A and B are shown apart, each in its own frame.
Chain A
Amino acid sequence: MSEKYLPLTVTIGVFCILFVAGGLLYPNFFSTLVIGNILGDNAFVIIAAIGTTFVIISGGIDLSVGSMIGFVGVVMANLDAAGWHPLVSAPMMILFGAGFGALVGVIIDFCEIQPFIITLAALFLLRGACFMINLDAVPIRHPFVLEFSDMGISLPGGGWLSSSAIVMLVALAVAIVIAHWTEFGSAVYAVGGDAPSAKLMGVPMRKTTIKIYALGGTYSALGGVVYAFYTSSGYPLAGTGNELQAIAAVVLGGTLLTGGVGFVAGTLFGGMILGLIATLINFNGSLNGAWIMIAGGLLLFIFIVMHRFLVGSFKFRTGS
């Protein structure tokens, strides 16, 4: 097996181990119900994390994800109050996400600024905008939102694949095609693997960078739309910290933070591992909720250390 599949294999292995462990510990755990719930409850983070995967594979980082989720929700709630149909405001917000991301990409490329700092600025900007619009939660009352949450597919074994989960899986499928069957996808891996070489090999650097962050913005805005539907409201603090959860999901999914190596599909499992840990601790009942973060943190730490050793096998071995 090629070493590039190793991180992904480990991720899927960890997911299986956690799931089987849960099944052995608790009755009713080993079911499509639990899987369906994990997919539905974490859909918005996983969607955002899919966009982040592209950014991280290209060697960048996007910290504006959580604020984007909050901002999209708040604007949608206000548009709802103004009488807009969610099916009109949602595509508009997704377009906004794409445009905002593209702008971030332009600034990163044109001014040669570290993605970390410019997306940090975007984080503050969007979160501030949330509070400019509303200080409190605003409900989304349009009947479509209710219909949306009632939609879904029942799984064999009593499980329920909610509409959020379906949107997420479709978004994932699109992302996999983009990553592996388009010239742009190859360019993302090339830029992350070795930017100077990619340039010499004729990869259009500016176009690629702009597209990467536009894609990241699109996916985090879509995550925001799903979250707004999921909670039927817009709340200015919504999504706080989700950018870090998205990064965690990407890294747990086997994408190397050094860029160039990773799989979009891994992010699904990374996000599900985080959800699985939370579910396990909830099933236990007696454990403090703090253990969710501690367990997630420990796992992340182990993965990063593992990656550190894997990176060595990808290093260029030139002498001079």
Chain B
Amino acid sequence: MEKFINLKAIVAPMDRPNVDTDAIIPKQFLKSIKRTGFGPNLFDEWRYLDHGEPGMDNSKRPLNEDFILNQSRYQGAQILLARENFGCGSSREHAPWALLDYGFRVVIAPSFADIFYSNSFKNGILLIKLDAAVVDDLFNDVAATEGYELNVDLEKQIITKPDGSTIAFDVDEFRKHRLLNGLDDIGLTLQHTDDIKAYEQCRRAEAPWLFN
């Protein structure tokens, strides 16, 4: 996993609540057996005017010019500003893979769905929960200023606006630690092999039917 320490980048606004993982990456692209290459199909049904299928040359497909990510002012955006319950629905990790492959490293919203939240951090994407009123202000700021950028500092847990004002954010200590250091969860857990074996031995004695 790639570390996340600090990022200054353009913000793209996704102004609708309950954006689900079917919208983030439609199911036909879940047939891939790879982790990469989902970026061109991020928000596929909103982004293109035709029906997308795996294997198409996406550069030749008709774009929905009204869709936010197709507008020139949001090109190169790495921070996505969203509404409540972002990432609801399926557990597909293809959703954070698609966001990451497109270039997003930060999503800011009033709330996120649980499984999407966990999946995103495991792929080096920082999700920031802010009060709905603060998010509302950011939507207004982004709309008012072309090329609007935010500076996100994970170490200090602070977002800095272009005018120098700041917004503090919370993040679980264990997620922050893994993200700052780009740590591999499996490697960390395997340091506790003895604990797992001891648990199994004990559990096998009290509930042997779980080990048949």
Q: Do A and B come from one complex?
A: no
